[in-house]
């Protein structure tokens, strides 16, 4: 409830009239969350404090819409892997206490499909731990969704470089708190996906020196168009304001990739031979199991055969999925080509070819 009230105060209750019912619903859920969090803490605080942090978590990196969700879905098919669910990320304070009974009775709150790409949604689907950090009261760029007409929020939390030591310490403490709670429920290797982590490798290594990383890249024109569609759909579906002032969005998308790539290029030098795999989204789609086997081998994740059957089943589920077509006008293509020239060059994409 405190996190919610602080956001309302920061934006001076600038809620569109049509979104007032949504705000009222969030207020009610906030009160419920605060109450359940207190009960959860009373019962589990000491037990969770004694939990050993997971060894060598695997972080899936990459700009939004680069295929990180698809790879996350594939890697969690391994019976040796654990992952944060949507419910756990949206109720990080009390999921240990409530997930088994509160999630089923609130499942109606979620759409059956994600608004940005029509993939299956639900409380038990894998989710980005970035949402857990936001719910825990930590700054995150994702707060931009809440009041989209007010422009970008918490840009300093994208790469953490401009945070004060105290702010950075709170960020680390919140992530460790969440990971401990996940590991209390399930001690298997954590598979975590959050695009902003692409710019945070240095900080993550301080916390988990033996962590593994997979970095996905995608053809830049498609990446830009899909990311623009992502934020617009989320602002429309999740925002407390009817989007009317999104002129900042294009620059936000362009600048975010530049900052993420600069931070990752600097931090990747800290990684050992068996800590990083980089791959193209296009290769993952075209030859999925080959790329997965390469990830397992290079990151020393063990025998891929234990995951092969579940992976095959999931691939059958999504075999008819087709990404949306990409259409950019000439001026926008030129803008992307100019701003993301280093991304085209570094990952071998031809700026003369149309996006796919």
Instruction: Please answer whether residues 223 and 339 qualify as being in contact, where contact means their C-beta atoms are separated by less than 8 angstroms.
Output: no
Which tens digits make up the pLDDT trace of 166-183? 999 999 999 999 999 999
Question: Which pLDDT does position 185 carry in this prediction?
Answer: 93
User: Residue 191: helix, strand or coil by DSSP?
Assistant: strand
How many CB atoms within 10 Å of residue 75? 23
pLDDT of the residue at 319: 86
Separation of alpha carbons 22 and 239, rounded Å: 9
Structure-block tokens of residue 288: 């999925």
Predicted local confidence at residue 256, as pLDDT? 98
| pLDDT at 315 (0 to 100) | 96
Residue-level pLDDT at 253: 98
The answer to whether the CB of 18 falls within 8 A of the CB of 154 is: no
CA distance to 32, 74, 118, 173, 298, per residue, from 309 (Å): 40, 11, 25, 37, 21
Is the pLDDT at 320 greater than 60, yes or no?
yes
Domains and CATH numbers, the chain: 2-346 (3.40.50.300)
Buried/exposed 317-342: b ≥16 CB within 10 Å, e otherwise: eeeeeeeeebebeeeebebbeebbee
What average pLDDT is seen over the chain?
Answer: 94
pLDDT in tens, 110-169: 877 766 666 677 899 999 999 999 999 999 999 999 999 999 999 999 999 999 999 999
* pLDDT reading at 243 higher than 80: yes
Provide the pLDDT for residue 103: 92
Question: What is the edge-to-edge ordering of all strands in the sheet holding 189-193?
Answer: 81-82, 189-193, 58-61, 212-217, 276-280
Position 115 scores a pLDDT of 64
Q: Are the beta carbons of 72 and 206 closer than 8 angstroms? A: no
Q: Give pLDDT tens digits for 187-216.
A: 999 999 999 999 999 999 999 999 999 999
Tens of pLDDT, residues 15-65: 999 999 999 999 999 999 999 999 999 999 999 999 988 789 999 999 999
Q: For residue range 219-241, list pLDDT tens digits in order.
A: 999 999 999 999 999 999 999 99
Cβ neighbours of 352 (radius 10 Å) = 7
Q: What is the arithmetic mean of pLDDT over 306-313?
A: 97
The pLDDT score that the predictor gives to residue 116 is 60
Q: Decide if pLDDT at 355 tops 60.
A: no
pLDDT at 326: 74
Average pLDDT over residues 321-338: 88
pLDDT at 292 over 80: yes
DSSP annotation of 54 reads P
Q: Check whether 282 has a pLDDT greater than 90.
A: yes
Indicate the pLDDT class of residue 354, thresholds 50, 70 and 90: low
Distance (Å, whole) CA 263 – CA 15: 35
């Amino acid at each position: 409830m405190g996190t919610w009230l602080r956001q309302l105060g920061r934006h001076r209750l600038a809620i569109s009239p049509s979104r007032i019912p949504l705000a009222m619903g969030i207020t009610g859920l906030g009160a419920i969350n605060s109450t359940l969090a207190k009960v959860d803490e009373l019962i589990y605080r000491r037990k969770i404090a004694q939990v050993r942090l997971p060894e060598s978590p695997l972080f899936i990196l990459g700009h939004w819409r680069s295929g990180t969700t698809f790879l996350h879905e594939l890697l969690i098919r391994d019976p040796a892997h654990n992952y944060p669910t949507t419910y756990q990320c949206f109720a990080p304070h009390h999921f240990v206490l409530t997930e088994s009974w509160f999630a089923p009775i609130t499942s109606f709150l979620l759409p059956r499909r994600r608004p940005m790409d029509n993939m299956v949604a639900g409380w038990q689907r894998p989710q980005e731990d970035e949402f857990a950090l936001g719910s825990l009261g930590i700054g995150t760029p994702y707060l931009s969704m809440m009041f989209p007409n007010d422009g970008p929020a918490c840009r300093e939390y994208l790469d953490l470089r401009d945070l004060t030591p105290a702010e950075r310490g709170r960020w680390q403490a919140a992530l460790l708190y969440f990971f401990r709670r996940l590991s209390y429920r399930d001690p298997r290797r954590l598979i975590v996906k959050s695009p902003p982590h692409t710019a945070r490798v240095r900080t993550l290594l301080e916390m988990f020196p033996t962590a593994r990383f997979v970095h996905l890249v995608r053809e830049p024109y498609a990446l830009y168009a899909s990311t623009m569609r992502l934020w617009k759909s989320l602002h429309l579906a999740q925002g407390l304001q009817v989007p009317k002032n999104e002129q900042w969005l294009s620059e936000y998308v362009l600048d975010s990739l530049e900052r993420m790539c600069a931070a990752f290029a600097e931090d990747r030098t800290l990684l050992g031979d068996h800590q990083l795999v980089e791959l193209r989204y296009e290769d993952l789609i075209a030859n999925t199991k080959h790329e997965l086997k390469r990830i397992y081998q290079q990151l020393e994740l063990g025998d891929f055969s234990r995951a092969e059957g579940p992976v095959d089943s999931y691939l059958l589920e999504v075999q008819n999925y087709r990404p949306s077509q990409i259409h950019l006008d000439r001026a926008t293509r030129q803008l992307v080509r100019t701003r993301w020239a280093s991304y085209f060059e570094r990952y071998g994409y031809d700026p003369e070819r149309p996006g796919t």
